[in-house]
Structure 1
Amino acid sequence: MTDTQFSKPLIYMLIGSAIILALSLGIRHGFGLYLVPMSDEFGWGHNVFSLAIAMQNLIWGAVQPITGAFADKYGSKIVVAVGGLLYALGLLMMAFSSTGLMLNLSAGLILGLALSATSFPVLLSAVGRAAHPEKRSLAMGIASAAGSFGQFIMLPSTLLLLQNIGWSAALMVSAILAALIIPLAWMLKAPMYSAPSAQSLENKPSLGFKDILIIAKNHKPFWFLALGFLVCGFQVVFIGIHLPGYLIDHGFSAATGTIFLALVGLFNIFGTYGAGWLGGKFSKPHLLMWLYGLRGIAIIAFLMLPLSAWTIYAFGAIMGLLWLSTVPLTNGIVANMFGVKYLSMLSGIVFFTHQVGSFFGGWLGGLNHDMTGNYNMVWALSLVLSILGVLMHFFVTEEHVIHD
């Protein structure tokens, strides 16, 4: 076996990571379908549900560096198992939420904590540590792509549950599925990749958390990368949560929004895998510039063309290709900059800015709708942020600050 082939432990970890991501992100991807039925039943404006989801994303991002540090120190499997337990608990509590406070506690706080332990920063960092540097971007892309399949499967399943048993029972079924993450966490045990020349570095002093944080703090390309990731968070959460409601406002059924989100999940499989593969061959910052630029063009086309089922589904397919393609590229850049020893923590810091964008994308969408009856201002802001995303990555490099 050559150094660039995937080892059996890594393949085992890829399978486990993919299933966990499929469950975690697949369930989360369907949250937008609950906005209208829950808001209608309790007489909420869109802002109540939107604020809870926005809080979820902010808490997720705020604790992600801490969760990542625990995963770096104690191992990913323990952190992911705890996250699976919290995920099931949060969904059960959400199923019985009849007030904004209860919704913020369950969907906001508990699910935010759960997602910090069961999503990309922790799982892709575990994969990145076990993969050969030349195959790291591809391995992350494979895990992301396979995980994206869950988003495709869960959307129609969630809609069927909502239509047949109601939103509360649908959340209870989702809680049972989330509990499967707990045993799956024990598949995350591949050893860290060690280069053949690593023996010559045995006497090199080891850097601690504080040392790494100081180095990262003073590395400007790291912060430009983080600012670019803010754009991603804003756009995907705004569209993922509010597009179904936007379509209902324009006379389309809930099924149309579900098909849109399912197409995003389906084409996200190809987008994330393709981004991981391309990231091993071309400049990752340049690829990210293209991704953010193409997102802006896709949004302009969607808003300018007559709204029909075909334009909606085409927008879903295009956005799916661009949806989470940023993730393996961004995590790959962080790994190239600082190595993989503290990758979960450093990816978590970058991911925090993503979640700040997610907070505003989710919250401002609901606020804009409640104040004006439309989403025009947030669509315009999404376009401005696409330009910002392109500009930020002009200043990002993959220079090795710390070697593996």
Structure 2
Amino acid sequence: MATENVIAILLGCLANSIYNIGLIFKKRGICSLPELETQTVWQNIKNFAKCKTWVFGYLLTIVQWFPLMYAIKLGSLSLVAPTMAVGFIVLILLSWLFLKEPITILEISGIGVIIVGIIALYSGPPIDPAHFNLDEMIYRFSQPKGYGFLITFAVFIVVMLIVSLGRKFTQAGALLGMASGFSYALATIFAKGAIGSLRFGTGEFWQNSVMRWEWWIFLFIMIIGYIVAFTSQQIALDRGKAIVVSPTLDIMNLFTQVTAGIIVFAEWYTVWESTLLLWQKALKVSAIIMIIFGVAMLSFFKAKSEVMNKTKTTLKKNKEDEDAPAEGTKAVSLKEEDATPLSQEVKIDIKAPPTSSKSILQKNITEKVLEINPHKQ
């Protein structure tokens, strides 16, 4: 039984690593594309589709969903969810290696905190894997803890969306980030019911899926959760600061999944009541807090780094625009055979009234050249 949790944890690490590797490729591809603001929506879509690096990264972010779904099907949600911290470590290290982004002491400290937290969480008496069929999932959410958990977080999401979308204020980005994190978590939780409850290779597959209206409810909530999460995340990044939105989203996502595993699915109940000593209980709780704190650190400094890089790019572009020749001027190179410099660049206005002819324009240029070099006459 414990082996299933080990496999689930490894699959979770693999899935989150693949996802963040995909982000690296997507970011590297975006850097080679024209500025999004200067292109039409359709042109941006075509640019993305033609960029093989970005397409490969995008495919990786989709592929990671399959090992992640099998991980939450096979193991405990409270143990699989913290593996997203491993993905953050991969993201930071690959950004440093391939994107040449600097890695700070604080980011190294965040990685260390996560590693210590993961060791503390996964050490000690093993937690029994929690995989359920559809009837067991329905039973869990029909209990007060189950529907109370669902209603509480659903109300939080709706209230935060209503308050944030209807008004413009400083905290809107953070609230939308919280709503997005809660939505991602709920979508993953219901994916455990819609996808994790499936039994392939048995005669129960159809009876426990498409033939049951309850299964369609799990699938519907999962899809809606992912749509709300993605949409609110984009709006949050547009209205708020990335250094606030990103860590808020990641913390809420991780916290909600771990809480659901402990409360709704009672994944810690057996070892908590009969096996764990007091210091081991304190160690488990401290490990979760350390992992959440480490994820917050990495997410914050990663978002801060992206903001700084974007600012540097904008300043560089503005400087290039300022240094570029003004519209309507042309550089002319004049070679002299006497003691004067071999070449001299003169900026000459070649704009002419719409009614001017080509000969008049050439005459104006000749006169300006002669004014600068009279001996050429």
* TM-score (normalised: structure 2): 0.36
TM-score by length of 1: 0.34
Q: Identify the structure with bigger relative contact order (alpha carbons < 8 Å, sequence gap 6+).
A: 1
